[in-house]
Structure 1
Amino acid sequence: MTRTEEFEQLRPLLFSIAYRILGSVSEAEDAVQETWLRYEACPTRPASAKSFLSAMVSRIAIDVLRSARMRREEYAGQWFPEPLLADPYEDPERSAELADTVSMAALLLLERLSPLERAVFVLREVFGFRFGEVAAAIGRSEPACRQLAVRARRHMDAGRARFEADRREREELAGRFFDAFREGDVDGLRELLAADVQMAGDSGGKAPLWGDGVFGAENVARMLAAFVAPFIQIGGVVEPHEMNGQPGAIFRDRDGKIVNTLTLDILDGQIQTIRAVINPDKLRHLGPVADAWAVVRETNRVRRLKD
Structure 2
Amino acid sequence: MSKVDEFEELRPLLFSIAYRILGSVGEAEDAVHEAWLRYDASPTRPTSVKAFLSTTVTRIAIDVLRLARVRREEYVGPWLPEPLLADPYADPARAAELADSVSMAALLLLERLSPLERAVFVLREVFGFGFDEVADAVGRSEAACRQLAVRARRHMRDGRPRFEAERKERDELAARFFDALSEGDIAGLQELLAADVTMVGDGGGKTPQLARAVAGAAQVARLLAAVVPMMARIDVTFEPHEVNGQPGAVFRDQAGRVLNTLVLDIAEGRVQAIRSVLNPDKLGHLGPVADAWAVHHALKRARRPGD
**Do they fold alike, i.e. is TM over 0.5?**
yes
CA distance in 2, matches of 1:180, 1:119: 40
Paired residue for 2:29?
A: 29
**Secondary structure, aligned partner of 2:290:** coil
After superposition, the CA RMSD in angstroms is: 1.2
Q: How does 1:219-258 map to 2 (within 5 A)?
A: 219-258=219-258
Change (3 A) 1:47 1:216: same
CA distance in 2, matches of 1:247, 1:209: 24
Paired residue for 2:183?
A: 183
Paired residue for 1:67?
A: 67
CA-CA distance at 1:107 after TM superposition: 0.2
CA distance in 1, matches of 2:275, 2:49: 38
In 2, are the aligned partners of 1:252 and 1:259 still within 8 Å (CA)?
yes
Change (3 A) 1:288 1:162: farther
**Secondary structure, aligned partner of 2:171:** helix
Paired residue for 2:16?
A: 16
Matched residue type, 2:44: T
Paired residue for 2:131?
A: 131
CA distance in 1, matches of 2:268, 2:301: 38
Q: Deviations for 1:210-246, whole angstroms, at most 9, x for unmatched residues?
A: 1421111111011001011121111111111000000
Matched residue type, 1:21: I
The reply on whether 1:92 has 2:92 as its aligned counterpart is: yes
CA distance in 1, matches of 2:304, 2:197: 27
Q: Which shows bigger deviation, 157-166 or 238-247?
A: 157-166
Change (3 A) 1:252 1:206: same
Paired residue for 1:147?
A: 147
Q: Which shows bigger deviation, 137-146 or 203-212?
A: 203-212
Q: How does 1:110-129 map to 2 (within 5 A)?
A: 110-129=110-129
CA-CA distance at 1:162 after TM superposition: 6.1
In 2, are the aligned partners of 1:56 and 1:137 still within 8 Å (CA)?
yes
The reply on whether 1:202 has 2:205 as its aligned counterpart is: no
Paired residue for 2:263?
A: 263
CA distance in 2, matches of 1:215, 1:304: 27
Q: Percent identity?
A: 71
CA distance in 2, matches of 1:306, 1:216: 32
After superposing on structure 2, the runs of 4+ consecutive aligned residues of structure 1 that deviate more than 4 Å are: none
**Secondary structure, aligned partner of 1:79:** coil
In 1, are the aligned partners of 2:202 and 2:279 still within 8 Å (CA)?
yes
CA distance in 2, matches of 1:147, 1:199: 35
CA distance in 2, matches of 1:306, 1:190: 30
Paired residue for 2:164?
A: 164
CA-CA distance at 1:161 after TM superposition: 2.4
CA-CA distance at 1:118 after TM superposition: 0.4
Matched residue type, 1:302: A
CA-CA distance at 1:18 after TM superposition: 0.1
Matched residue type, 2:201: G
**Secondary structure, aligned partner of 1:197:** strand
Note the residue ranges of structure 1 that are not aligned, 5 or more in a row: none
In 1, are the aligned partners of 2:94 and 2:127 still within 8 Å (CA)?
no
